[in-house]
Structures are given as structure tokens and as C-alpha cells.
Amino acid sequence: MADSHAKMTQATPLEVIISIVTGLFAPLLAIFLVVQLVLGIQDNHKPDTSSEAAQQATVDRIKPVAQLVALDANAPKVERSGQEVYDAVCTSCHAAGALGAPKFDNKGDWGPRIAQGYDTLVKHAIEGIRQMPPRGGDGDLSDVEVARAVAYMANSGGASFTTPEAAAPAATADAEAAAEAAAPVAAATPTEAATAAPVAVAAPAKVAAVAKADPAKGKAVYTANCAVCHAAGVAGAPKLGDKAAWAPRLGQGFDGLYKSALNGKNAMPAKGGNPALPEADLANAVGYMLVEAGGKL
């Protein structure tokens, strides 16, 4: 009985070899896979020095952080093209359509605006309208630069406006003649100077009086023109009736607040973005908001 059991449990040489090979195969396979994984990671991180992208990346890494440019303060202003103005000033809003700005190259956004006409669009861009401040927020832009940017953006949306050129400089001869006419006579004697007619001095321009306000009429004007920002405090506008927000502004008095609303200040465009708003209506709206904040006219 014992001999029979020993024969049954004794393994053959072939079975022993198969067991040994099977036991070694699993670790060898695992080692092979790990080596392939490491080699693959190294290949992925190896820079492609032959590609143009790699060469450009190297140039970008070694270029200086800033460059010093010497500018002549007396040099004449070089007016930029419409694309240059757009890239420098307008793209921050018009590229993504921020605050309702018509997106560049979007015919659906620009269609209704193109229908208003080129002159109207330029007027809005110079004076500001709704959320857009005058001249896109860059007060150094000339009228010609603003007009060029308007043409550039509108044409991307389907218009065919002509880009304006810079005005031709005045003739040198005319400038010299004007200078000679304005220059004093060098050979005048004391007697002649005494008897000469007195030079007329221009009177200073009269400053337009600030319109009087009627807060009772100002509520409707506020709702139609000012609520879009002042109801929710958009772009830092003080909310209607928020005494804490209005407190620093009440010190300006009605006259100061009215002039800021008339001319525009910070993110607020002139006349709240409505150039056609009569000054009397604007004064009424300012008066209404001032009274609601606890101020007095």
C-alpha cells in the first residue's frame, strides 16, 4: 500500500521541468515590462532637437526678459493702424465678447451695429457707450486711431468701411507766414510802442452751469440708463441706496457727481453710455441717486 502511494506522488522529470519554467517565467515577464516602461518614459521626455518647435522654445528661453527702447519725447506721434489699436486696446473685450461687446469676426454680433453706419459707430467709440468707456479706455488714442480700429473690427464682421488716413500736415509756408504774423515788430521804438493799439486779450471761456436736478423726474431716467450698472454695482458702480458705497462720493456734492457723470470717470462712460441723453435728464438721474444715498442737493 505504501509503495503504491509513493508511485502516485512521485513527479516525472517533465513535470518538474514545466514547474521550474513556469515559476521563472512570471518574474522575467514582470522585469521585461518594467524595463519597457522606463525606456518609454525616457523617450517621451527626450527633447526633439531637430524640430523647429524645439529650436523656437530654446530661443524663447534665452531671450531677455525686457528690452530698453529709447523714445524721443519731442518726436511726432505715429498713429497706429486699426489692427494695432485692436490688439493693444480692444481685444480684451471684443475677442471674447466681454460686457456685451460684439465679438471680432462675428457677423451676427456686428450686423445690427453696421446698420447704424460708420459715423455713428465711430462716435460711440470716441464718446463711449453702455459698458464701453470713451476710446476703449485709452485716452491717448487719437480720433483717427479710434476710427481705424472701428473700421478694422466692423469689416471683420461683414462691413466694407474705408479705413481713414491721417490728415495731411499743414504746409510749411503757411506755418511760417502764421508765425511771422504773430511775431512782434522788432524795430518798434518806445514812442511807437506807447502809441500802439493795446493787444486784445481773449476772455476766458464761460464754464457751462451745472444743470439743476429734479430727483422726482430722475427715477425714470435712472431706470432707463443707469440701473444696468448701479442696480447691481457692476464695474465698481455704487449701488442705488447703498449709503456705505456712496459715502466717499457724497463729499463731491451734486456738482462734482454731475460732472463725473457728464464726462465719464473710471469704468463709467460719459452720460452713462448714452451720448444722446439730455443734460437735464442726466442731472435729474444724478440727483435721484444722490437723494437715495442720503445726500442733499
Measure Cα distances from 15 to 7, 27, 29, 202 in Å: 14, 20, 21, 121
Give the predicted TM-score (pTM) of the model: 0.37
pLDDT score of 207 = 35
Pick the CATH number of 82-156 from 2.60.120.260, 1.10.760.10, 3.90.1200.10, 3.40.140.10: 1.10.760.10
Q: Residue 174 to residues 77, 166, 181, 199: CA-CA distances in angstroms?
A: 21, 19, 11, 23
Q: How many angstroms separate the CA atoms of 281 and 271, rounded? A: 10
What pLDDT is recorded for position 26?
Answer: 76
What pLDDT, on a 0 to 100 scale, did the predictor assign at position 166? 62
- The answer to whether the 82-156 and 215-292 domains have the same CATH topology is yes
pLDDT at 195: 43
CATH superfamily for 215-292 is Cytochrome c-like domain (1.10.760.10)
Identify the pLDDT of residue 198. 44
C-alpha cell at 118: 460708420
Residues ≥6 apart with Cβ < 8 Å to 134: 126, 127, 128, 264, 269, 270
Query: Distance of CA 108 to CAs 26, 116, 124, 125, 161, Å?
Result: 65, 14, 19, 19, 17
Task: Mark the ranges of the chain whose per-residue pLDDT is less than 70.
Answer: 1-11, 40-55, 57-75, 166-211
Q: Which residues have C-beta within 8 Å of that of residue 291, sequence separation ≥ 6?
A: 215, 297
* Distance in angstroms (rounded) separating the CA atoms of residues 257 and 290: 9
Domain ranges of the chain: 82-156, 215-292
C-alpha cell of residue 11: 513527479
pLDDT digits (tens, 9 = 90+) for 162-212: 888 765 544 444 445 544 544 444 444 444 433 444 444 343 333 344 557
Which of 151, 183, 167 has its CA nearest to residue 76? 167
Cα angle 160-164-170, degrees, rounded to a multiple of 5: 160
Dump strand ranges (E) for the chain: none
Report the alpha-carbon distance of residue 129 to residue 269 in Å, rounded: 6
- Give the 3-state secondary structure of residue 107: helix
Question: Quick one: which of 281, 271, 296, 282 has its CA closest to 127?
Answer: 271
Q: Are 210 and 254 in contact (CB under 8 A)?
A: yes
Cell numbers at residue 285, please? 438721474
**pLDDT confidence of residue 202:** 40
